[in-house]
Structure 1
Amino acid sequence: MSKTANSSWETTGKPIVVLTVISLIVSLLLALVNGMTAPVIKENTRRTTLAAYVSVMPSVSDAATLEEVTDYTTANVTGVVKAPDGGIAIKAEEKGFDGGILTVIMGFDANGAETGIWVDASTQTKGIGSNVSTDDFLAQFNGMDGTKNIVMNQDFDAYSGATISSTALFAAINDCINCFNELA
């Protein structure tokens, strides 16, 4: 082999092969880590959702008593459970600021009155959009008629300075209301 061909291999070919092998090894390791963590993440999400369902339904103390409902078609609704007393909890997700998902779980009694609301706005800007999930802000919805859609800044207030997150919150609440009406 000539000195020029060997030099070309050392400066061009060898680095490409080494980087390709390293990339394949790292990709394999990432796939293995994802395979191990995905079930754990899924289980943690399931537990959080069940706890939120229970928290918005005062008549329910154990998630094991909830029955999953699947016969709904309302857009953006990702889960529905029914309690033995006829109460229902509905989970809806809407895109908020920067496309982050804002999740709302609303509880309704058998007559459609709101019994609780749980909001995960952790994907929204901390200290601004995330404030739509504070207990003080959500208190305005306590006992609302859960059978009628609501209008932001007309029926209830938006969070000042968090228009996009507030819009997502109101849309998700209306998704829950629409699903309740679909199932009622």
Structure 2
Amino acid sequence: MNKSTTWESTVKPILVLSVSALVVSLLLAVINSFTAPVIEANEKATTLAAYVEVMPSVSSAADLEEVTDYTTPGVSGVVKYTDGSMAVKAGESGFDGGIVTVILGFDANGTVTGIWVDASTQTSGIGSNVANADYLAQFNGMDGTQNITAGNGYDSYSGATYSADALFAAINDCINCYNELA
């Protein structure tokens, strides 16, 4: 075997592939550096809008105060309003590791004033149905100081066991955090 054959059949393809991979990796890193702040800002805006949605006494997200002194696992955000109402955001792992995110609003007495759910990571048309308004209506007005379970006054979602279990776990995370801070 001569040197020319070794270069053409072994070294050159490895070199070309390595340089190509390096260039593509650098381009992806540059694109990520531009899009990451935009994605983060959009997620924050969506969360703030959901906080306002579940707290009927609040008209603007600017009126909310962030709370950071909680230790409840699964909770990723808490805000409160001057009238004693509060909103808690939690997420739990559903089907295939996708996160079901829940934001519960509570009035000063611990009654649930609203629920917002993002189940977009769940199977479309099955697990994602745990975010349907008709299904979520069962949680409005519930006593937000007591943990809940499927079958004890609250229906699970047939055919979406993992997603429904994640929903109930995230709701209970919100309730536990409310009780911790109340």
Question: How high is the TM-score relative to the length of structure 2?
Answer: 0.99
SS at match of 1:178: helix
**Structure 1 position 155, deviation (Å):** 2.6
The question of 1:32 aligning with 2:18 is answered no
**Structure 1 residues without counterparts, runs of 5 or longer:** none
Equivalent position amino acid for 1:39 in 2: P
CA deviation map 1:71-115 (0-9, x unaligned): 000000000000111100000000000000100000000000000
The answer to whether structure 1 residue 177 and structure 2 residue 172 are counterparts is no
Q: Does 1:112 align with 2:110?
A: yes
Aligned length: 182
Matched residue, 2:134: 136
In the alignment, which residue of structure 1 is the partner of 2:42?
44
Determine helix, strand or coil for the equivalent of 1:15. Answer: helix
Partner residue of 2:52? 54
Q: Which residue number corresponds to residue 97 of structure 1? A: 95
For 2:81 and 2:133, locate their aligned partners in 1 and report how far apart those are by CA, in whole Å. 24
Shift of 1:153: 1.6
Q: CA RMSD in A?
A: 0.8
> What SS is found at the alignment partner of 2:121?
coil
| TM-score computed with the length of structure 1 as normaliser | 0.98
1:176 Cα deviation after fit: 0.3
- Which residue does 2:154 correspond to in 1? 156
- 37, 47, 69: which one aligns with 2:67: 69
**Stretch deviating more after TM superposition (104-113 or 149-158):** 149-158
- Kindly report structure 1 stretches of 4+ aligned residues shifted beyond 2 Å: none
Gaps of 5+ in 2: none
